[in-house]
Amino acid sequence: MTTIWTGDLQQLLQCPVAGCDETLYQPTTLDCGHTVCKHHVQGHACPVTTCAAEMLDEEIVPRPMRLRIPPGSRMEYEASLSGSGERPHLDLQEPPKVNRTVEDILAFLDEEDDIGDALKPKTIFTSELYAKLTCLSCSKLLYNPITTPCQHTFCAECLRMSLFHGNTCPLRCRSRFGGFEFWEEHPMDSLMQNLLLNFFPDHTAQRDQANEGKKQDSAWTPIFIVSLVLPGQECSFQIFEPRYRLMLRRCLEHTHKSQSSSGFPTMGLMMHDGRANVLRYGCLVEITKVQMVYDGRAYVEVRGTVPFRVVHGESLDGYVVARTKILRDIPASLPSPTPRSRSTHNDKLQIPDLVEICLGFLSLMKRHGHDVVDRITRVHGQPPISNPSLLSFWFARILPLNDFEKAEILAMQNSRDRLDRVIYWISRAAGPELV
């Protein structure tokens, strides 16, 4: 820890309002991150003259809770209950509250002035200041500090975790907060950050390094246990449990290695086997769109890309993560890695022949009920005729089978084997004479 003098502390605790230049008195922290004397607060505007210009530069006014999503991702926000409009610096529906953490530091400073620097070792002085700058949630030294409208200060990550459980203060005051959009744009508490950088720079640097290390840990894929999704399939679902909100955020911020060549953030989707167990195979999906709702729920749109097999699974913060092996198709000329359970009269047919059989069934459906095929294509899109690999998954989606049977083809790394399985399903559902 860096040794400090009371004079250094007093200088940082001066009010930033032009013409004041006094030590903060009844300090209140505004939504812009500035801490000023309470009597300077008049109306919604910040009394610090440089505030408007600073807010335009994120290097000067960081937003630690903003999602760092890649350009390909689409993020939308549902309008908050209070409507849209210019963001105020303070909610004046009630009088400004006093920032108790800053008040405690000011009281600590007065006490040190009374005692005198010579009577207390600097290490003890530093240790006591350290205790004043701890997060009210995790009790560690603050990191990326955020002060809420109710004047409680937390690490940005601690506050973020709390918001996954509801829009109220984590402490007993239970003040109601704005929605996710409010916090995405909420600046860091500039006074607290200056105290941390000036007095505990080593600690802050270590936290920065550890945080970057977590982002580079790409060995695990987040797994959402929901339902069967096959490659090429587009679907949407709602996320509302706090643990899965956290998982979604980490996926969007690419804190794990994206296995998608398109640049979209990814996650793994799997289904239960009906006996509280999870199947070994799933589908890697690209997250193409997310809409955040005011209360923290998220509507997510995804697109299936490639099957995977779970090598090893664990739990992280309440959700499943896994080391996975991507199951890409092998050339048809090579032996199939998937043992075949039966022989069929299609064994000597080539992939184009199997594709023709499948498309012939589709033509037969058109002749017997044109509107049926139209309804199918409206939901599942046109069959990818030029891509036998995706075509096998497309037919698996439209056939009237239970999901456990459909999930079997995720383990097949050969489009020929999958098409052969599809033809078997067609013959079973429609009769062998139709294929």
Give the least confident one: 14-23, 148-157, 367-376, 388-397.
Answer: 367-376
- In tens, the pLDDT along 233-289 reads 999 999 988 889 889 888 887 655 555 666 788 999 998 866 545 578 999 999 988
Q: Average pLDDT in the 385-395 region?
A: 94
Q: What pLDDT digit, counting tens, does each position of 277-287 carry?
A: 557 899 999 99
Name the residue ranges covered by the structural domains of the chain.
Answer: 6-66+81-215, 221-326, 351-434
The CATH label, of 3.40.47.10, 3.40.50.300, 3.30.40.10, 3.40.50.2000, for the domain at 6-66+81-215 is 3.30.40.10
Stated pTM of the model: 0.69
pLDDT bin (cut points 50, 70, 90) of residue 85 is very low
Instruction: Count Cβ neighbours within 10 Å for each residue of 363-377 and write b for 16 or more, e otherwise.
Output: eebeeeeeeebeebe
Q: How many CA atoms lie within 13 A of 224 on its CB side?
A: 31
216, pLDDT greater than 60 = no
What pLDDT does residue 180 have? Answer: 66
Class of domain 221-326 as given by CATH: mainly beta
* Of 145, 176, 188, the residue nearest 59 (C-alpha): 188
SS3 call for 215:
helix
What pLDDT shows up at residue 410?
A: 95
Strands 298-316 and 319-326: antiparallel
Per the CB < 8 A criterion, the answer to whether 250 and 215 are in contact is: no
Distance in angstroms (rounded) separating the CA atoms of residues 395 and 398 = 5
User: Which tokens is 155 given?
Assistant: 């690490």
pLDDT class of 68 with cuts at 50, 70, 90: low
Q: Which residue has the higher pLDDT, 136 or 56?
A: 136
Half-sphere exposure of 284 (CA within 13 A, CB side): 25
